A and B are shown apart, each in its own frame.
Chain A
Amino acid sequence: MTYYVYLIFNGDPVHIMEGFLPAIWCIVWFAISIPVIALGIYKLNKLVKEKREILPLLAVAGAFIFVLSSLKLPSVNGSCSHPTGTGIGAIMFGPAITAVLSTIVLIYQALFLAHGGLTTLGANVFSMGIVGPVLSYLIYKAGMKAKLNFYFVVFLATTLGDWATYIVTSTELALAFPAGDVLSFAGFLSSFSKFVAIFAITQVPLAIVEGAVSALLFKYVIEVKSDILVEMHVLEDSVVRKIRGLSA
Chain B
Amino acid sequence: MTNILDDYALISPLRHRNNWLKLAIVLFGLLVGVSSTSPVPPLFIALCMSFTTIALGRAPLKIYLKLLLAPLGFAVVGILIIAFFSGSGQELLSFKLMGYPLSVRKDGLELALLVLARSISGMCCLYFLALTTPMIELFAVLKASRLPEAFIELSMLIYRYIFVFLDMALSIRYAQTVRLGYSSFRRSLHSLSMLGSTLFVRSWEQGDKLFLAMNSRCYDGKMALFEVHRPVGAPELLLTSAYFFLTLALLYLTKNASIV
Contact = CB atoms under 8 A, between A and B. Distances in A.
B199 A68 contact: yes
A10 B70 CA distance: 9
Contacts of A20: 115, 118-119, 122
Interface stretch (A113-121, A129-137, A138-146, A238-246): A113-121
Contact of B119 (A17, A58, A73, A228): A17
A5 B81 contact: yes
Given A71-B169, A88-B196, 4 more contacts: A1-B108, A17-B71, A44-B154, A108-B162
A159 B203 CA distance: 24
Contact of A217 (B82, B185, B193): B193
B201 A18 contact: no
Majority secondary structure of chain A interface residues (helix, strand, loop or mixed):
helix
Given A22-B34, A67-B166, A100-B151, A9 B189 contact: no
Contacts of B130: 111-112, 114
Interface of B: 1-2, 5-6, 27, 30-31, 33-35, 42, 67, 70-71, 73-75, 77-79, 81-82, 85, 98-101, 104, 107-108, 111-112, 115-116, 118-123, 125-127, 129-130, 135, 148-151, 153-155, 157-162, 164-166, 169, 173, 182, 185, 188-190, 192-201, 203-204, 206-208, 210-211, 214-215, 221
Contacts of B173: 71
A74 B192 contact: yes
A190 B74 CA distance: 24
Given A112-B6, A114-B71, A45 B148 contact: yes
B169 A67 contact: yes
Contact of B165 (A41, A67, A101, A181): A67
A113 B1 contact: yes
Contact of B221 (A18, A55, A76): A55
Interface residues of A, number: 78
Given A19-B34, A45-B150, A114-B126, A1 B199 contact: no
Q: Top 7 closest A-B pairs, CB basis?
A: A19-B122, A59-B157, A216-B193, A18-B122, A194-B99, A63-B161, A220-B197
Contacts of B206: 60
Contacts of B203: 60-61, 63-64
